[in-house]
A and B are shown apart, each in its own frame.
Chain A
């Protein structure tokens, strides 16, 4: 146990226990943009909480700003210089009397310094996420790997600390190539990753040692520019695998439950997820060359083991890869709400709770100190849910982002469908070039995988997006790509 204590810290035993009725008095500042801001607003509404949003000049026409001002008035939206400036967020929080910050995903969601600052400043504010110590310890892929190794949880071979020396990096790369050749892997390759990166950004594959240095330098420069830290990670590139996730929810009262698994294998060339499905495997729909149910149980058990070890206390996602022969490897832990949490919620039922599960609502409740009021035995799963990420990008040109103005955006309304978007329906919308060109998230539910697939395709067929760029060329989106990829869900191809 002593070894583990060196890797991560224990929670303060004197942590304040909040009472259930305190929640209603809280006011949330939503420190994010786009569809996640809209989903947080919805969760606040369901909890009866007041909220304010922030936005930048580029986002002045975003739906999250309009929705907030329509519901709460002009004072519910504050223009800031940058979503990544903590002083801006705290300054607005103080001005409007916010008592808690929801960081959404990206930006400050996994920044332990921000979470720490929120809770230790003169006017403390609750950070809606895990304790800052947990974010620090699990936010680092390297540290997570060390903890996992300590708990006998399988991890991908590679570096377990950031590398700053080109010579050291090349030596490790050579070792990993050699190891793969010894294992009989025909086309060995490695991944070079920005250590401080996340969300699939700053990752490149190297298939030959002689181009390693060139890629290493490129990633190092990218990491320095984007994250201010030029540390690089190197690990074996797994080729034939599925990318799975385990959704956990933990409270500050040491309660741990899971909301099943997701399969996020369908990604763009830049490793950006595009189609996700829950559950992670469906043996009734696809035949797997391994016991899929057993593997799902294994990764859930491993995830819970790690969560309990670090006394995790909010929502979190344990990311896994599972190879064709059914071997799981822990990739990392995302100490935040994920884009794709909604599909897990969509197939989950809590026996003593009315209405659908909303994991963002649960996240806010637990961060404000509430108990779960249910346990794993009350959670059941029903059907299959598919998430489709609609993005303005050219899949034929390496998923290049498209910039321009959207003039028409229409999608069907169905009881089995939820669409979250910040793109206005009734006026032209210029996509800000400062951010990803994500347009909408569609969450489709079906009694089984086959029905979910049919409905997903139906949704994509009936969705209409029109627009043009500065040269008058029509908008390019990934709708056709998504439709094609729906057929691939849950299968090893």
Chain B
């Protein structure tokens, strides 16, 4: 798989932003804590243990939940009319315009370099118990996958089925989903790198690190 790294970098440099729509996760009464145009920060610290800027408080059943920003960026499209109102689940509250950083650019570009194994259905995905044990953060890059390997469980319509991997053999380089998350059909699940392409991937990462200025 050949990519034009120059073109990709140029594309991201011309528009290095992603808009994240912030929706309430569940019902409740909203109290806004930010203003239009305000800069906010995402979680920080070595383990991302310090929460980001408080965006709003959602109170349900007498329990206030502080909803903090998961992204660093600027508040836009703030819906001030929702202040103090009971809202239904999924109601959009604001947008945060986030400037992509170096690691995120690497992540986006790697999707073009790696073989991406995508979700065959809109479903919840889990690693099989054996694979889940074998894969942890530190060892993931050493995990080999061959066609026919049953690495994932697809939980669809309350039924679990084993998914046999049908891509090229390679090393599991990136996991794009969280255990048990609902994944849209076609969204990436795994990023696989053929062993002979590992040096190329490392080179791409190195070049982005050198050329991208946060």
Residues of A within 8 A of B (CB): 56-57, 78-82, 85, 87-88, 90-92, 94-95, 201, 221-222, 225-226, 270, 400-401, 403, 433-437, 470
CB-contact partner of A433 in B27, B121, B160, under 8 A = B121
B residues in contact with A57, CB < 8 Å: 89-90
- Smallest beta-carbon distance B64→chain A, Å: 13
List residues 147-186 of chain B with CB under 8 A from any CB of chain A.
Answer: 155-160, 180, 182, 185
Q: Check if B157 sits within 8 Å of A91, measured CB to CB.
A: no
B residues in contact with A401, CB < 8 Å: 156-157, 159
Q: Check if B156 sits within 8 Å of A88, measured CB to CB.
A: no
- Smallest beta-carbon distance A485→chain B, Å: 21
B residues in contact with A95, CB < 8 Å: 27, 86
Q: Does B195 contact A (CB under 8 A)?
A: no
Q: Does B197 contact A (CB under 8 A)?
A: no
A-B contact pairs, 12 of them (CB 8 A): A56-B89, A79-B27, A81-B25, A81-B27, A88-B89, A90-B61, A91-B60, A95-B86, A221-B129, A401-B159, A433-B121, A433-B157
Q: Does B206 contact A (CB under 8 A)?
A: no
Q: Check if B126 sits within 8 Å of A225, measured CB to CB.
A: yes
If A81-B26, A81-B27 touch, whether A437 touches B157 (CB-CB below 8 Å) is: yes
List residues 56-77 of chain B with CB under 8 A from any CB of chain A.
Answer: 60-61, 63
Q: How far is the CA of A435 from the CA of B157 in the complex (A)?
A: 5
Q: Check if B157 sits within 8 Å of A78, measured CB to CB.
A: no
Q: Does B118 contact A (CB under 8 A)?
A: no
Q: How far is the CA of A430 from the CA of B132 in the complex (A)?
A: 32
- Smallest beta-carbon distance B65→chain A, Å: 10
Q: How far is the CA of A437 from the CA of B157 in the complex (A)?
A: 7
If A57-B89, A80-B89, A81-B25 touch, whether A87 touches B160 (CB-CB below 8 Å) is: no
Q: Check if A92 sits within 8 Å of B27, measured CB to CB.
A: yes
* Chain B residue nearest in CB terms to A56: B89
B residues in contact with A221, CB < 8 Å: 129
- Smallest beta-carbon distance A353→chain B, Å: 38
B residues in contact with A270, CB < 8 Å: 159
Q: How far is the CA of A226 from the CA of B91 in the complex (A)?
A: 28
Q: How far is the CA of A222 from the CA of B129 in the complex (A)?
A: 11
Q: Check if B160 sits within 8 Å of A222, measured CB to CB.
A: yes
A residues in contact with B159, CB < 8 Å: 270, 400-401
List residues 1-47 of chain B with CB under 8 A from any CB of chain A.
Answer: 25-28
5 residue pairs, one from A and one from B, having the closest CB atoms: A79-B88, A81-B89, A401-B157, A81-B26, A433-B122
Q: Check if B122 sits within 8 Å of A78, measured CB to CB.
A: no
Interface residues on B, range: 20 to 34
If A57-B89, A433-B123 touch, whether A87 touches B26 (CB-CB below 8 Å) is: yes
Q: Check if B158 sits within 8 Å of A87, measured CB to CB.
A: no
If A403-B156, A435-B157 touch, whether A91 touches B61 (CB-CB below 8 Å) is: yes
Q: How far is the CA of A270 from the CA of B161 in the complex (A)?
A: 13
CB-contact partner of A79 in B90, B156, B185, under 8 A = B90
A residues in contact with B89, CB < 8 Å: 56-57, 79-81, 88
Q: How far is the CA of A436 from the CA of B91 in the complex (A)?
A: 26
Q: How far is the CA of A87 from the CA of B59 in the complex (A)?
A: 11
If A57-B90, A433-B121 touch, whether A201 touches B158 (CB-CB below 8 Å) is: yes
- Smallest beta-carbon distance B163→chain A, Å: 13
Q: Check if A225 sits within 8 Å of B155, measured CB to CB.
A: yes
A residues in contact with B28, CB < 8 Å: 91
Q: How far is the CA of A139 from the CA of B69 in the complex (A)?
A: 42
* Chain B residue nearest in CB terms to A57: B90
B residues in contact with A437, CB < 8 Å: 157
B residues in contact with A433, CB < 8 Å: 121-123, 156-157
- Smallest beta-carbon distance A26→chain B, Å: 21
Q: Check if A78 sits within 8 Å of B185, measured CB to CB.
A: no
Q: Check if A85 sits within 8 Å of B26, measured CB to CB.
A: yes
- Smallest beta-carbon distance B31→chain A, Å: 15
Most A-side CB within 10 Å, residue of B27, B60, B159:
B27
Q: Check if A470 sits within 8 Å of B158, measured CB to CB.
A: no
Extra inter-chain contacts (12) besides given A80-B27, A85-B26, A270-B159, CB under 8 Å: A79-B88, A80-B88, A88-B26, A90-B61, A91-B26, A91-B28, A221-B129, A225-B155, A401-B156, A401-B157, A433-B123, A470-B185
* Chain A residue nearest in CB terms to B153: A225
* Chain B residue nearest in CB terms to A60: B90
A residues in contact with B121, CB < 8 Å: 403, 433
* Chain B residue nearest in CB terms to A436: B157
Q: Check if B158 sits within 8 Å of A78, measured CB to CB.
A: no
Q: How far is the CA of A90 from the CA of B62 in the complex (A)?
A: 11
* Chain A residue nearest in CB terms to B63: A87
Q: How far is the CA of A88 from the CA of B87 in the complex (A)?
A: 11
Most A-side CB within 10 Å, residue of B28, B61, B63, B89:
B89
* Chain B residue nearest in CB terms to A469: B121
- Smallest beta-carbon distance A409→chain B, Å: 19
Q: Check if B158 sits within 8 Å of A226, measured CB to CB.
A: yes
- Smallest beta-carbon distance A435→chain B, Å: 6
- Smallest beta-carbon distance B79→chain A, Å: 16
- Smallest beta-carbon distance A439→chain B, Å: 13
Q: How far is the CA of A85 from the CA of B28 in the complex (A)?
A: 13
- Smallest beta-carbon distance B157→chain A, Å: 4
Q: How far is the CA of A396 from the CA of B151 in the complex (A)?
A: 25
- Smallest beta-carbon distance A117→chain B, Å: 10
B residues in contact with A400, CB < 8 Å: 159
B residues in contact with A222, CB < 8 Å: 160
If A87-B60, A225-B126 touch, whether A435 touches B26 (CB-CB below 8 Å) is: no
Q: How far is the CA of A87 from the CA of B58 in the complex (A)?
A: 13
Q: How far is the CA of A437 from the CA of B122 in the complex (A)?
A: 14
- Smallest beta-carbon distance B179→chain A, Å: 10
- Smallest beta-carbon distance A490→chain B, Å: 29
B residues in contact with A79, CB < 8 Å: 27, 88-91
- Smallest beta-carbon distance A219→chain B, Å: 11
A residues in contact with B122, CB < 8 Å: 403, 433
Q: Check if B26 sits within 8 Å of A80, measured CB to CB.
A: yes
A residues in contact with B157, CB < 8 Å: 401, 403, 433-437
A residues in contact with B63, CB < 8 Å: 87
* Chain B residue nearest in CB terms to A224: B129
* Chain A residue nearest in CB terms to B186: A470
CB-contact partner of A88 in B27, B158, B180, under 8 A = B27
